[in-house]
Structure 1
Amino acid sequence: MIETVVSVDLMVEEELKVKKNHLAPDFPTGEEKRICIVSGLYGDELQGQYICYEVIRRIKLEYENLIGIVDVYPALNPMGLDSKTREIPGSGIDMNSIFPGSKLGALGEYTASCIFDDIKGADVCIDLHASNLYVHEVPQVRMNDDRVDELMPIAKCLNVDMIWIHPSNSVLNGSLAYSLNEVGVRSVVIESGVAYRINQQYCNAIVDGLFALMKEMEIWKGNTVTPKKVPITNDKDIRYINAESSGIFIPGVQLFAQVKKGDELGTVVNVITGAVEEVVYATGDGMICSLRDYPVIEEGSLLARIVGGNAYE
């Protein structure tokens, strides 16, 4: 059932609406577990659009297997999605920095408050993201190091390729996931791909993981995949490769590649002189988990990340 979470009148007889698809068993008992799947906090991140569609499509195909509640919110920042911008158009506010919001606030804060109140009370929330325009990311779950015990069982179900644990003091306090965890809704962030694109292979693997999680939560009784065993890593296990010159970056490896210290990762070239400005080398052993996608760079630009060190399964 399609429901309106928040509706706000705008100028020129327009209206902002955030909607969700509420999927529940035909004969609920009142004891059902509830999961919320949210996307579209940033208007340039499109991976979640496909994931939301595919989750709803699969549930509708086998509705008899639904034994809990699934609330799907495809576009939490609909104006950003329409204008293809990360922020809320006009105000320039980062939607993912103002939760839990305020009913007495401006447009962004009011919208955030309505969304937060609607999700509050769920057992789990999965916040779907893509990377920015510049760097391509492998599918990964991100969480705070002070929430590992409660969130790791969720993360291991999600069929991603990496779980990245961040120090809690580096996490934005106004983010949706942080704010929901503060009120008892277990929440993790999935990030994958790159902005303005949909990678169906990544998305379908994540959808498989969502159904595995729903089965674990006793929301879904249909068949599911066995989630992949993946590296679990902390910041200390991530090596950042940054450019030491400006120009065009030409990668020599692909995402997921296993590299050794000293392996060539690519070159930075000067297009007017035809010269190679820099040869980029791996600074340690591991897997390429992030790789520059937008080729124009300047000194200091992130070119790659390598996950290695003490990452374990």
Structure 2
Amino acid sequence: MIETIATAALAVNENLNIQKRRIQNGKSKKRLSLVTGTHGDELEGQYLAYIVGSYLDEHIDRLDGIVDIYPALNPMGIDSITRGVPMFDLDMNRVFPGSKDGTMIEMICSMIVDDIVGSDVCIDVHSSNIFLQEIPQIRMSVPTAPVLLPYAKMMNVDFIWVHDAATVLESTLAHTLNTRGTKTLVVEMGVGMRITKEYCKQLFDGIFNLLKELGMWSGETAPVREPIVSEGREVGFVNSDAAGIFVPCVSFGETVEKGNHIGDVVDPLSSKIVEKVDAVCDGMIFTLREYPVVYGGSLLARILQPASGGTEE
């Protein structure tokens, strides 16, 4: 069943409609919400919504509960390949919880929150932007970790990043839902404007494992991996000092030692290496620059340091 959960009038007799698909079977009232499309340049979740929904359709008899799929919270952004909300130049994930008496986007955000609240678990799927590639990971703030970590470990991701809460996070969908009692996991994976099928399949397996653990799924599930958790660890940031083209020489997810050569910034005009880029610490590379054009200060990589000495096993 497809429902319109929020609507607002646009110019020329058009409407902005936010829709969800509800898939329901059995007597259980447990509900899992799968949310994506908050940023118009993040497309991994589009394919994930498709494969989750189609698999549930094929095996509906094995579902006992409700799965709500919200494929596009920012449909105008997806239509125009724009990260934010077109015309308003707004990052939608900086407007929550919104307001029923606010601007059009604030009103839409408020209606979205009202519809998702009450889910047993919400999975908020994001991709990276066009500049960085991210290993499949779940991010959460330190205050929410005691509640969210057990669920995150069921999700078949490679990495769980528990980080200090920043003020800006208070205006995200995940923060709003978590403060209102709806357990919400933020997934980051892949790179902007692309679909990485293997990452989507990895998270697909995690979602059905979570459904199984919630007692909502009686079908078979694939084994899930044990994620690396960042608790008690530092993250090293590798930034460029020079402008040019970044050419990495390490693989995504590789472990390195401090001082290891991980790439070069080259100048196409002079045909010279203008910066040799070295690892700033031991650890695992979980973010790597995808878009090669860089300037001074551009983020090239993030490295998760080991809990105590040495590189990751």
- Counterpart CA distance in 2 for 1:193 and 1:46 is 9
Q: Measure how far apart 1:170 and its partner are.
A: 5.0
Task: Give the Cα separation in 2 of the matches to 1:121 and 1:170.
Answer: 25
The corresponding residue for 1:136 is: 133
Give deviations 1:39-73, integer Å, cap 9, x for gaps: 00000000100111111011111111000110000
2:16 corresponding residue in structure 1? 16
Letter matched to residue 19 of structure 1: Q
| Residue aligning to 1:203 | 200
**3-state SS, counterpart of residue 198 of structure 1:** coil
Change (3 A) 1:236 1:299: farther
Deviation at 1:32, TM superposition (A): 2.1
Q: Any idea what the Cα deviations from partners look like across 1:218-262, whole Å, max 9, x if unmatched?
A: 111111122211110048521111111111111111101122222
* Candidates 68, 72, 91, aligned match of 1:94: 91
Among all aligned residue pairs of Structure 1 and Structure 2, give the percentage whose two residues are the same amino acid: 44
1:157 aligns with 2:154: yes
CA contact (8 A) 1:135 1:290 kept: yes
Q: 1:258 aligns with which of 255, 259, 280?
A: 255
User: Structure 1: 5+ residue runs without aligned partners?
Assistant: none
Determine which of 117, 121, 125 is the counterpart of 1:124.
121
Q: Counterparts in 2 of 1:222-233, with a 5 A limit? A: 222-233=219-230
- The normalised TM-score by structure 2 is 0.96
Matches within 5 A, 1:168-247: 168-170=165-167, 172-234=169-231, 236-247=233-244
The whole-number CA distance in structure 2 between the counterparts of 1:219 and 1:113 is 28
What's the C-alpha RMSD, in Å, of the aligned pairs? 1.5
1:290 is matched with which residue?
Answer: 287
Give the TM-score normalised by the residue count of structure 1: 0.96
- Alignment partner of 1:110 is 2:107: yes
Aligned residue for 1:184, secondary structure, equals coil
1:273 to 267, 270, 276: 270
The AA in structure 2 aligned to 1:184 is G
Q: Which residue number in structure 2 is paired with residue 145 of structure 1?
A: 142
SS at match of 2:230: strand
CA distance in 1: counterparts of 2:150 and 2:257, whole angstroms: 31
2:127 is aligned with what amino acid?
A: A
Give 1:56's aligned residue.
53
User: For residues 286-306 of structure 1, what are the alpha-carbon distances to aligned partners after superposition, in whole Å with 9 as ceiling and x for unaligned?
Assistant: 211111111110111111111
- 2:107 is matched by which residue type in structure 1? Y
Specify the code of the residue in structure 1 equivalent to 2:37.
Answer: G
| Contact 1:166–1:235 (CA under 8 A) maintained in structure 2 | no
Task: Report SS of the residue matched to 2:73.
Answer: coil
Matching residue within 29, 33, 49 for 2:30: 33
User: What's the CA shift string for 1:179-214, capped at 9, x where partnerless?
Assistant: 001110001100001110000001110011011011
Aligned length in residues: 310
Q: Deviations over 1:10-37 (max 9, x none)?
A: 1112211111110110xx43x4211100
Unaligned runs of 5+ in 2: none
**Distance of 1:111 and 1:235 partners within structure 2:** 38
1:42 matched to 2:39? The reply is yes
